[in-house]
A and B are shown apart, each in its own frame.
Chain A
C-alpha cells in the first residue's frame, strides 16, 4: 500500500478511535449506561474494577492515547513521528490486549465498544509497523548505482549517496 494512503487510512481509524473513546469517557462521567446490544455486558465491563487505572477511567486514558496517535500521524512525516506513532499504538495495543483478556477471563463479559477499540488499535499497530518499515528518511539516489566505472559520470550518484548520512 502506498505510504500516503496508509497514513490517511490510519488517520481515519484514529479519528474513529477518538470518537469512540470520547463517547466512553462521556458515559463514564455522566454515569449513564453505554449503548450495548449484548445486554448488560458493556455495563458490567464499564463498572468493573478494570475500568479504572489508579482511579482514572481507562476510557479517558484511551482518549488521550488516541489523540496522541492522531498528533503523531498529523506531524510532518519524519522518522521521529513514525516512531512515536509506533510506540503509542504499541502501548495502546498491549493494554487493550490485557483488558480484552480481563473481559474474557475475569469479567466474563465483552464490551462492544472496547472490542471495537481493540480492533482499531490492532489495525493501527499493523499500519504503524508497516509505515515504519517501508519509509525511510534517507534521500533516495535517483541515478544508477555507483558501480565501478572509468567514467567520471559515476561520481554524481556516489556523492549523492554519501551525503545521505552526512
Chain B
C-alpha cells in the first residue's frame, strides 16, 4: 500500500512540476512576444520620425551627381552660358549703357524669389518670380544692360549662422576671380535652404564650387583666404548703407539718363522695365 501511495504521490509531483515548467515557459514566451511587439512598434515610430525629420522639411541643397544637382546645373548653364563675365561680378557687356546692380544676401529668400524662374520653386516652396531670368534674357544677353552683384547682409544676420555671411559672399566673389561669380550665385539661389536655418557651411560652399562648370576648384579654395574678398563684402555693405538700402534684393538701375529710384524688395517685371526705361 505504502509503495503504491508513494508512486502515486511521485507521479503527481512530477506532473505538477511538468505543468509548472510548461506554464512558466508559456508565460515567458508571452512576455517575450509582448516585448518584441513593443520594440517593433518603437522601431517603426523611430524610423518614421527620422524619415519625416530628414525629408519633410529638409533644405534644398543637393548632392553632387544626383539627378537634382544635374538639373540645377543644366538650368543655370542654359541661363548664363555664352554671357561674358568681367571683374567686379559684372555679368554681360561691361560697356552696356544700362547697369543694373543687385544688392543681395545669398541666404535671403526674397533674393531667391527674384533669382529663380517661375518654373522653379524657391526655398519656401513658392515659384520664383522669373524677373531676373527676364532681365538676363532680354537685356543682358542682348548687350543692352550689365548685371552687377553686391553684398548686403539681411537674412543671414537674422538667422542661425550670422557668421556665415562674409564666407558665403566671399565664396561667390572667389568664383568671380575666375569670371564665374554669377554661376556660383545662381547655383546658390537654386539650392538655397530654408531661411534662417543652418545649411550653409564649408561643405555646402564647396559643393556649389564643384558644380560651377570650368571653375578651378583649387584656385577657388585658396582664394577664400584672400582678405580682399571679405573687405569687398564689407565695402559693398558700406555702399548700401550710404545709399540707405535696407532690404534685399535692392535693385539700383543706372543709365545714360542717370539713376532710377532704387527698388527695395522683389520688383515685378513691369516695375523693373519701367526703371530701365526711365534711365535709358
* CB–CB A148/B19 < 8 A: no
Tell me whether B231 is interfacial, beta carbon within 8 Å: no
Tell me whether B56 is interfacial, beta carbon within 8 Å: yes
Residues of A within 8 A of B (CB): 40, 43-44, 47-50, 52-55, 58, 79, 83, 86-87, 90-91, 94-95, 98-99, 102, 106-109, 132, 138, 146-152, 154, 158, 161-162, 164-165
Q: Which 7 pairs across A and B sit closest by C-beta, in order of nearness? A: A94-B46, A90-B42, A148-B13, A165-B23, A47-B160, A87-B38, A158-B16
A52-B57, A87-B41, A161-B20 given; A95·B13 CB < 8 A: no
* CB–CB B198/A49 < 8 A: yes
Contacts of A55 in B (CB 8 A): 56-57
* CB–CB B196/A164 < 8 A: no
* CB–CB B53/A147 < 8 A: no
B19 vs chain A, min Cβ distance (A): 6
- A-B contacts, CB under 8 A, total: 111
CA gap between A125 and B5 in the complex, in Å: 53
**Cross-chain contact of B56 among A48, A54, A95, A102 (Cβ < 8 A):** A54
Tell me whether B45 is interfacial, beta carbon within 8 Å: yes
Main secondary structure of the interface of B (DSSP, over half): helix
CA gap between A50 and B45 in the complex, in Å: 17
Tell me whether B149 is interfacial, beta carbon within 8 Å: no
CA gap between A154 and B42 in the complex, in Å: 44
**Additional pairs, 17, CB under 8 Å, beyond known A55-B56, A108-B198, A164-B27:** A47-B160, A47-B197, A48-B160, A49-B193, A49-B198, A49-B199, A53-B56, A54-B52, A58-B53, A86-B38, A94-B42, A94-B45, A108-B201, A146-B16, A148-B10, A152-B9, A154-B13
Nearest B residue to A97, CB-CB: B46
A94-B43, A149-B13 given; A165·B38 CB < 8 A: no
Nearest A residue to B44, CB-CB: A91
Contacts of B19 in A (CB 8 A): 162
Q: Which of A44, A87, A164 has the most CB atoms of chain B within a 10 A radius of its CB?
A: A87
A48-B198, A148-B10 given; A95·B49 CB < 8 A: yes
Contacts of B16 in A (CB 8 A): 146, 158, 161-162
